[in-house]
Structure 1
Amino acid sequence: MKRATFLAQRKPAWQNFEKSLRRVETVNQRRLSSEEVLAFSRQLREVAHDLELVRTRDWGLDLEEYLNRLLARGHDYFHAPRAGTWHTIGQFLFMEFPRIFRTWWGYQLLAALLFFGPLIISWILIQNEPPLAARFMSQEALDQYDMMYSSEDSASLDETAFSFDSWNDYGNERASMAGFYVQHNVGIALQCFARGILLGIGTIYTLLFNGISIGATAGYVLSLGHADRFLGFVVSHGSFELTAIAIAGGAGLLVGDAALHPGQLSRWSALRLRGRDAGQMAVGAAFMLVVAALIEAFWSPAPIPSEYKFLVGGFLWFSVAMYLGWSGRERT
């Protein structure tokens, strides 16, 4: 058989196989039906046979490379493990999200400074000068904090007087609070991200506002003399919640910078390319906020000595740092 005759006979089959590859590759390893599996397997074997024929007859390196690429793509797809929904979610959370976070670390650092800087300053300022709290919070909010921490039993449960019905009521209440925390915290993160389209100004405002508000609240409560109870409550879920808000802010700043400095790309292209990574960072931050809401609803208010909560809280802060700094790194 001559090379020209071979190409005329086999080229349509290769083109059909390429179409099959493009179809399955663009839908994230879609499951094939039994008939499609048989057809795909047959095409894969035919390409392998054609490649061997081209090699033995020395019909050109370009043709050999073309068939080798087809065979490699088909082999990778056909023999790759099929990822289910949970596997895909785990792959994103533990591999892709931390990598994207580290890729755009400059924006994350700036967002952290804009959020944690005002938080720490307002915390220290109001803890030392409590009357200044009235400039940052309404009198109604101040009175509410005074009432919340006026009783030693207001934020804890009586372990000795707990019946089965009480535990049911507590579980229902905590589940309801978890839903509230998810809605509230994820809402803040989405604001940080979405307002980045306003050239980053909206994100900067949201980070500064929430940083000042949280710091003012912490400073005022600590000025009342309730450091042990308050810090014991916030130390655990704060690791996920505060970090996630800063990450969402970094995603918003990335979008804002793409709009301001598109570089060699058009503004729309820059927004589309960077917006994909920014959106994934926002989704990762939302997952962290869900974890924070569960901790805040069930663990933080539990009647457990503060020493244990500080111990768990320190471990969670360390875990979040290790997760963002090391998870998803390639082994050398």
Structure 2
Amino acid sequence: MREALFIKQNAERWKQYETEPTKNPDEVAERFVAITDDLSYAKTFYPNSKTISYLNKIASGFHQSIYRNKKESTNRFAQFWRFELPLLFYKHRFKILYSFLFFVVSMLIGIISAKYDNAFVRLVMGDAYVNMTNDNIAKGDPFGVYKHEGEIEMFFQIAGNNLYVTVATFVMGLFLSVGTVVALFRNGIMLGAFEYFFLSKGFGLKSILVIWIHGTLEISSIIIAGGAGLVFGNSILFPKTFSRFVSLKKGVMEGLKITIGILPIIVVAAIFESFVTRHTEMPAWLSVCILAGSLAFILWYVVIYPMRLARNLNLLKPDATEN
């Protein structure tokens, strides 16, 4: 696209950002994400243009209004995780909540199905896994599956699989959000059957202390990816005032940013599973600390911090974005 056309298509919106500030946190979040997208596009295709300085001024206004008394980083990479991703979490908080509810309901279905159908666990998890776990239980090491390979080999296998599941959960949103819901349903049922299997063998508490060392971050990431998939799918179903193409473009970009943003969490979960979970003999207090720390991080970064960020924006003076 030529620069003149790029400016013509967006100039009215940019002017609105300057002259018509809003106190609505959802609108502020959307504006911030949009202007950083425009700035990135301009830097890529018009590196010597004055448009970059103009857009940077608008974006800086958002930055200054969030943390007026703090020194801001101009690093695009840092700004993404510090501002853009949390604001996307806030903007799409209800879709992430729906993803969580879908997952929890499907997990409960998995638990109930496993309880009342003895063959269900084998159907979901496979005979090989169930037989291996029963053998490990007989040997006095019910979670021996986490020790059967070296740490490095296990890390690459688990990280690759989990990254695939996360990205696939998002991409399945292409099928009008139904694909993402099916992916959440499938993973939730598997987890429910998995947990009930150990509960039925008398290792319910132990399974939580061992498996959720990595599972807290891993499952949280899948749920967030489910939210991203709903952003993708709903952009096709509910374009609102946008054309369907523009709505789809926005949905893909915002869902993709959320998915990319949580990939480091998936990697950390794989590190935990490969290097930490295998130590099933660790003290209970240490397991609880890791679980609590992981859960606290997810709640803070995905829920609490985005709300605070949005509240800070909501309390701005009307002329804040003009600074």
Same fold (TM over 0.5): yes
Quick one: distance in 2 between partners of 1:268 and 1:144?
50
2:236 paired with 1:220: no
Note the C-alpha offset of 1:90. Answer: 3.5
* Residue 23 to residue 179, structure 1, CA distance change in 2 (3 Å): closer
2:157 paired with 1:143: no
Matches within 5 A, 1:231-270: 231-270=208-247
Write out per-residue CA displacement over residues 107-159 of structure 1, whole angstroms, 9 at most, x where no aligned residue: 11111111122113323552576454234333223212212333234747xxx
* Residue 112 to residue 154, structure 1, CA distance change in 2 (3 Å): closer
Matches within 5 A, 1:279-298: 279-298=256-275
Aligned match of 1:122: 110
Note the C-alpha offset of 1:235. Answer: 1.9
Query: Alignment partner for residue 177 of structure 1, among 133, 144, 154?
Result: 154
Matches within 5 A, 1:10-21: none
Aligned match of 2:8: none
Note the C-alpha offset of 1:288. Answer: 1.4
- Look up the SS of the partner of 1:289 in the other structure: helix
Is the 8 Å Cα contact of residues 196 and 204 (structure 2) preserved in structure 1?
A: no
Quick one: distance in 2 between partners of 1:222 and 1:240?
21
Note the C-alpha offset of 1:31. Answer: 10
Is the 8 Å Cα contact of residues 258 and 271 (structure 1) preserved in structure 2?
A: yes
Aligned match of 2:83: 95
Return the TM-score normalized by structure 1. Answer: 0.67
Is the 8 Å Cα contact of residues 254 and 278 (structure 1) preserved in structure 2?
A: yes
Quick one: distance in 2 between partners of 1:307 and 1:24?
46
Aligned match of 1:307: 285
Which deviates the most, 242-251 or 130-139? 130-139
Write out per-residue CA displacement over residues 272-326 of structure 1, whole angstroms, 9 at most, x where no aligned residue: 1122111111112222111111111112212412332023212321221112123
Aligned match of 1:273: 250
* Residue 309 to residue 263, structure 1, CA distance change in 2 (3 Å): same
Quick one: distance in 1 between partners of 2:72 and 2:99?
38
Write out per-residue CA displacement over residues 10-64 of structure 1, whole angstroms, 9 at most, x where no aligned residue: xxxxxxxxxxxx9999327x999xxxxxxx9xxx9xxxxxxxxxxxxxxxxxxxx
Quick one: distance in 2 between partners of 1:205 and 1:81?
41
Matches within 5 A, 1:131-170: 131-153=119-141, 155=143
Matches within 5 A, 1:12-51: 26-27=42-43
Aligned match of 2:183: 206
Opposite residue 297 of structure 1, the aligned amino acid is S
* Residue 317 to residue 128, structure 1, CA distance change in 2 (3 Å): farther
RMSD of aligned C-alpha atoms?
3.4
Is the 8 Å Cα contact of residues 236 and 314 (structure 1) preserved in structure 2?
A: no
Is the 8 Å Cα contact of residues 145 and 221 (structure 1) preserved in structure 2?
A: no
> Which structure's CA Rg is the greater one?
1
- Look up the SS of the partner of 1:189 in the other structure: helix
* Residue 297 to residue 135, structure 1, CA distance change in 2 (3 Å): closer
Aligned match of 1:324: 302
Note the C-alpha offset of 1:103. Answer: 0.8
* Residue 199 to residue 298, structure 1, CA distance change in 2 (3 Å): same
Matches within 5 A, 1:44-123: 73=57, 83=74, 87-123=75-111
Write out per-residue CA displacement over residues 217-263 of structure 1, whole angstroms, 9 at most, x where no aligned residue: 11112211223432222222222111110111111111111111212
Aligned residues: 255
* Residue 223 to residue 315, structure 1, CA distance change in 2 (3 Å): same
Opposite residue 293 of structure 2, the aligned amino acid is F
List runs of 5+ in structure 2 lacking aligned partners: 1-37, 61-70, 316-323
Is the 8 Å Cα contact of residues 133 and 143 (structure 2) preserved in structure 1?
A: no
Return the TM-score normalized by structure 2. Answer: 0.68
List runs of 5+ in structure 1 lacking aligned partners: 1-21, 33-39, 45-68, 157-169
Quick one: distance in 2 between partners of 1:129 and 1:23?
56
Opposite residue 43 of structure 2, the aligned amino acid is V
- Look up the SS of the partner of 1:27 in the other structure: helix
